[in-house]
C-alpha cells in the first residue's frame, strides 16, 4: 500500500512580516519558516476603530502573501498578525523623534518596546500573552500551528 503521507503537499509556514521582532518570536516555537513581508498600505481607513484596523491589516497581510506565493488550496494555513496601540480610542502610530534614539522602536505599534526601555512609560501593562505586546501572540500561534498540523516547538540542536 502506498504511503499517502508522503504524497500530500508539504506544509510550509510563512511569516508575512518584515519585523525582526516577530521573526525572533516565531523562531521560539517554530524551527522552519520562511519570511515574506506583505508590503501593504497600513494606513487606517477614515473612522476605523483600532481593533478593526488590526484585524484588517492581519487579514490583508496574510492574503497578500498567500496570493503572491500562488498558494494552492490545502498547501498552507494562513495566519496574519498585526498590532495597533490605542489610548482612549485613539490610534497611536509609529514613534516620534524624541524617543527613537533611546529605544529604537521604529516598527512598533504605539512607538514603544515593552521588552526594552519603553516599559518605563507605563504604570501597568496587562495581557493574557505578553508576547502579543512584543509583536506576536505565541500562545495563540502555537495552538493554531498545532491545530494546522505543524510542530509547535523548535527541533533540538
Query: Could you give the CA distance from residue 82 to residue 150 in angstroms, rounded to a whole number?
Result: 21
Asked if residue 5 belongs to a domain, the reply is: no
| Calpha distance 127→49 (Å, rounded) | 20
Quote the pTM value.
Answer: 0.69
Strand-pair partners of 86: 91
- Coil vs helix vs strand at 141: helix
Among 22-26, 59-63, 104-108, 114-118, name the one with the lowest average pLDDT. Answer: 104-108
CATH of the domain at 134: 3.90.950.10
Instruction: Confirm whether 107 is domain-assigned.
Output: yes
Asked whether residue 152 is domain-assigned, the answer is: no
Segment 55-101, tens digit of pLDDT: 899 889 888 888 888 866 555 566 677 777 777 777 876 657 555 56
Question: What are the pLDDT digits (tens) for 21-64?
Answer: 888 889 988 888 889 888 899 889 999 998 899 889 988 988 88
Closest CA to 157 of 22, 31, 53, 16: 31
Among residues 3, 39, 41, 82, the one annotated as catalytic is 82
Q: Is the pLDDT of residue 1 over 70?
A: no
39 part of a folded domain: yes
**β-pairing verdict for 34-35 and 14-15:** parallel
The overall longest dimension of the chain from CA atoms, in Å, is 67
Model confidence at 3: pLDDT above 60: no
User: Containing domain of residue 121, as a range?
Assistant: 11-147
**Is 6 part of any domain?**
no
pLDDT given at position 152: 62
Instruction: Look at residue 12 in the predicted model and tell me its pLDDT.
Output: 78
Q: How many domains does the chain have?
A: 1
Residue 153 resides in a domain: no
Told to judge if 82 belongs to the known catalytic residues of this protein, a careful annotator would answer yes
Residue 156 lies in a domain: no
Amino acid at each position: 500500500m502506498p504511503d499517502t503521507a508522503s504524497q500530500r503537499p508539504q506544509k510550509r509556514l510563512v511569516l508575512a512580516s518584515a519585523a525582526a521582532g516577530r521573526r525572533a518570536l516565531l523562531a521560539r516555537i517554530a524551527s522552519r519558516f520562511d519570511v515574506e513581508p506583505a508590503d501593504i498600505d497600513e494606513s487606517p481607513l477614515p473612522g476605523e476603530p483600532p481593533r478593526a484596523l488590526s484585524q484588517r491589516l492581519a487579514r490583508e497581510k496574510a492574503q497578500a502573501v498567500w496570493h503572491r506565493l500562488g498558494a494552492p488550496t490545502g498547501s498552507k494555513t494562513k495566519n496574519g498578525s498585526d498590532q495597533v496601540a490605542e489610548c482612549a480610542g485613539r490610534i497611536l502610530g509609529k514613534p516620534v523623534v524624541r524617543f527613537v534614539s533611546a529605544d529604537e522602536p521604529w516598527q512598533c505599534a504605539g512607538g514603544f518596546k515593552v521588552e526594552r526601555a519603553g516599559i518605563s512609560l507605563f504604570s501597568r501593562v496587562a495581557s493574557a500573552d505578553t508576547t502579543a505586546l512584543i509583536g506576536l501572540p505565541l500562545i495563540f500561534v502555537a495552538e493554531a500551528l498545532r491545530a494546522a498540523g505543524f510542530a509547535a516547538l523548535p527541533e533540538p540542536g
